[in-house]
Every structure is written in structure tokens, then in C-alpha cells.
Amino acid sequence: MRIASWNVNSIKARLEHVLSYCQNTSTDVLLLQELKTTDENFPTSSFNNIGWHVAKHGQKAYNGVAIVSKKNIEVTQVGLPDNEKDEQARYIEAQIEDIRLASIYLPNGNPSPGPKFEYKLEWMNRLYNRAKKLFYDEIPVVLGGDFNVIPQPIDCYDPTAWQEDALYRKETREKFYAICNVGYLDALRQINPHGAHYTFWDYQRGAWQKDNGIRIDHFLLSPEAANKLVDCQVDKEPRGLERASDHTPIWCDLSE
């Protein structure tokens, strides 16, 4: 099963790119982030028309996550538990065959310090708790999406410039490591121990042309899923399209 993840920066603006990606790659399941639209306005029929299923958790203008799949989707969780006041659509989880998948849009957290950074850390605490719960279920789990975390210096074109940024601050990386240390594998780094494998290039300052990227979209695999890991790569091609998202897809192949 090939699972891909893509922050599309508006599903409506990127619909043709996404449909083309579904039809012209080997992807079986695609995790989407930053839909920037409500459930009512999500283009469900466009996916149904190419034979794909849809599970979505959207909101007006901001955030929004979805799972689209060739195979049947059974939704297991909408929104992260343990904070009823949180109205931001950033988590959806589903069962597809024997794999539990979550599409994650972790808060940006800038500026930091400040309330937005506090929200990011609080959200990461709840993700940690959910990841732990799923870990103890002893099933193949794939946590995929835009984590808004630069794990290590190798994952950034200029780590010193990002030292105080919410994506790279010590507190952010330590919480990310805490989730990994529950027993989740960073699939991209497992397959590609060396070299830059960026997933995001800013629209500004010619970042794409200069390859000033960062790796912030990740797949974290439970042991049962990691044992099935065959390959994991970043697909840079969609970032070079006209009217591209500022993120590009990452994918992993799990054996049956």
C-alpha cells in the first residue's frame, strides 16, 4: 500500500493537481492538510467520480484535514481528544484495511513565545497521548502529515536562521522526539539516513529555486507498521508545477 501525504494549501486552489496526483501515481491513500474549506464545500464528488473515497474534517478558510483513498475508509477519530474548546480542524484518523492512519496538521506556533506557541505545545501533548494510546493497541499505525517540526539540523537549509522559530525551537523538537520515543519511527530518515529531503519551500525569496527548504512533513510508524516499511521518499515534482502548493508530497510504501 502506498500512502502519501500532502499539505495542499487550499483543496479548491489545488484540486486539479491533487486529482492528477491520485490518477497518475501509484498512490492508494492520500492524507491531505490545509484544505481551507468547510466539509460542505469540499469537492467530494470530484474524488468519487474517479472512484476514490473521502473522509474529511474541514472548517471555513483555515486548517482542515482529509483522507482520500482507493479503498474503503472507516473513520475512527475526528479531532484530537481531551480539549473540547479546540475548534481548529487539524486531526482525522481512520482504519483502511489493516492500517490505522492519521492525517495531521500540527499548529505552526509562530510567533514564539506567545499564545500560539503555547497552543502548539498543548496540541503536541495531546498528539503524544493519542500516539501512546494507539501504540498500546499494538496495530500498524501511520501518523502522517504536516507536523510543522524541523526535527534536526540536517532537515533545514540554514538551522541558525531558524533557531528561535516555532518550527525548530528546542521545546518543539523535544516534544517531537518524545512522540518518536514512544516507539514511532521517522520513516523518511530510516530509509534515507543522509542528505536533505525537504518537503516545504517558501513562496518568497526564490526559496524553491535556491533549494532553501525545510523537512516538516513526516510519517511516523508504529513498530507493526515499521516492520512493513519498504520505501519512503519525497516527491519534488508537484512543487515545480504552475500554481503549486508550498509543500510537496511525501510517500511511503508498506508491504501487505
Per-position x/- string for 48-87, each x denoting binding to DNA as judged by CB under 7 A, each - no binding: ------------xxx-------------------------
Question: Distance between CA atoms of 67 and 81, rounded to whole angstroms?
Answer: 19
To DNA, the closest distance from the beta carbon of 56 in angstroms equals 14
For residue 252, the number of C-alpha atoms closer than 13 Å in the C-beta half-sphere is 31
The stretch among 66-74, 96-104, 202-210, 221-229 that binds DNA (CB under 7 A) is: 202-210
Q: Write b or e for each residue in 130-141: b if 16 or more Cβ atoms lie within 10 A of its Cβ, otherwise e.
A: bbeebbeeeebb
Residue of the chain from 1, 5, 6, 7 that contacts DNA (CB under 7 A): 7
Residues numbered 120-139 forming contacts with DNA, rule: CB under 7 A: none
> Judging by beta carbons within 10 Å of its beta carbon (0-12, 13-18, 19+), is residue 196 exposed, middle or buried?
middle
- Residue 151, C-beta contacts closer than 8 angstroms, at least 6 positions apart: 173, 176, 177, 186, 189, 215, 218
Shortest separation between residue 37's beta carbon and DNA, angstroms: 6
Q: Which of 142, 185, 214, 225 binds DNA (CB under 7 A)?
A: 214
Q: Footprint of DNA on this chain (CB under 7 A)? A: 7, 9-10, 12-13, 34, 36-37, 41, 60-62, 107-108, 110, 116, 146, 148, 167, 200, 202-205, 214, 216, 243, 246-247
